[in-house]
Chain A
Amino acid sequence: MKKLLAATLGILSAVGGFVDIGDLVAAGQAGARFGMAHTWVLLLGVVAICAYADMAGRIAAITGRAVFDLIRERLGARVALVNLAASYLVTVITLSAELGGVALALRLATGVPYLLWVPLAGAAVWLVLWRMRFPLMERVFGLAGLALVIFAVALFWLPTDWAALGRSAVAPSEAGQGWGAYWFIAVALFASTVSPYEIFFFSSGGVEERWSPADLADARFSVLVGFPIGGFLALSLIATAAVVLRPAGLSVESLDEVAQPVVLAFGAVGLAVAALAFFAVTFGAALETGLSAAYAAAQYFGWQWGKRVSPREAARFHTVLLVSVLLGVLLLFTTVDPVALTEYMLIISAVALPLTYLPILIVANDRTYLGDRVNGRALNLLGAVLLLVILAASIAAVPLAIGTRMGQ
Chain B
Amino acid sequence: MLEFFNYRTIWEYMPLFEEGLRNTFLISIVSLFLALIVGVLACAARLSNWRGLRAVSIAYIESIRSTPLLVQIYFLYFGLPTLGIRIPEIQTGILALMFNSGAYIAEIVRAGITSVPNGQIEAGISSGLSYFQRMRFIILPQAVGVTVPPLLGQAITLVKDSALLSMISVVELTRSGQILTSERFMPAEAFFTVALLYLVIYFFLKYLSGWSQKKLIFRET
Question: Do A and B come from the same complex?
Answer: no
Instruction: Mark B residues whose CB is within 8 Å of A.
Output: none
